[in-house]
């Protein structure tokens, strides 16, 4: 699947999280390669948080948005919390006009707020699920956090 002609999305790791910065325009295959790279990275390093930075991205159509949603969904199923940050107003205007469904996406204005959302989610989910899931509670109590 590796194609050297497809630009890779840089993935920077910081503690248990990874920051993915998407380019200003998406070449064909960029999101597919990103999906492979991100899932591999998450698994390899046991990451607990993912931030996808779209602040440079100028355009997104429905097909690309659907791919992004799929990547977010897949990553979430692996375990990490994930937040999409920096969507430009123009991109958002286009997606809303196209009727894009953002259900399941957690977004934040910028990186700083995105990291806060991740932290809140990590603790919030552990607390709310702890009541019904002893296993989660046990993990939360024994966890590294």
**Binding region for other proteins (CB under 8 A):** 25-29, 58-63, 65-66, 69, 89-91, 93-94, 97-101, 103
Smaller CB separation from other proteins, 104 or 134: 104
Dihedral angle over CA of 48, 33, 13, 140, nearest 10? 0
Contacts of 94 (CB under 8 A, 6+ apart): 59, 60, 61
Smaller CB separation from other proteins, 102 or 113: 102
Smaller CB separation from other proteins, 26 or 47: 26
Q: How far apart are CA 104 and CA 89, in angstroms?
A: 20
At closest approach, how far in Å is the CB of 25 from other proteins? 8
At closest approach, how far in Å is the CB of 103 from other proteins? 7
Helix (H) or strand (E) holding 35: helix 30-45
At 107, list the tokens: 């977004």
At closest approach, how far in Å is the CB of 107 from other proteins? 17
At 9, list the tokens: 């999305």
Smaller CB separation from other proteins, 27 or 141: 27
């Amino acid at each position: 699947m590796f194609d050297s002609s497809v630009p890779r999305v840089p993935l920077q790791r910081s503690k248990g999280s990874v920051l993915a910065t998407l380019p200003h325009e998406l070449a064909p295959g960029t999101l597919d390669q990103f999906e492979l790279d991100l899932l591999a990275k998450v698994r390899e390093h046991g990451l607990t948080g993912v931030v996808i930075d779209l602040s440079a991205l100028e355009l997104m159509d429905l097909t690309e948005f659907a791919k992004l949603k799929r990547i977010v969904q897949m990553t979430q199923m692996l375990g990490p919390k994930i937040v999409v940050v920096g969507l430009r107003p123009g991109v958002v205007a286009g997606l809303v006009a196209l009727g894009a469904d953002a259900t399941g996406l957690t977004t934040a204005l910028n990186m700083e707020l995105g990291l806060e959302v991740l932290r809140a989610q990590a603790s919030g989910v552990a607390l709310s699920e702890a009541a019904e899931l002893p296993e989660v509670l046990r993990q939360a109590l024994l966890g590294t956090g």
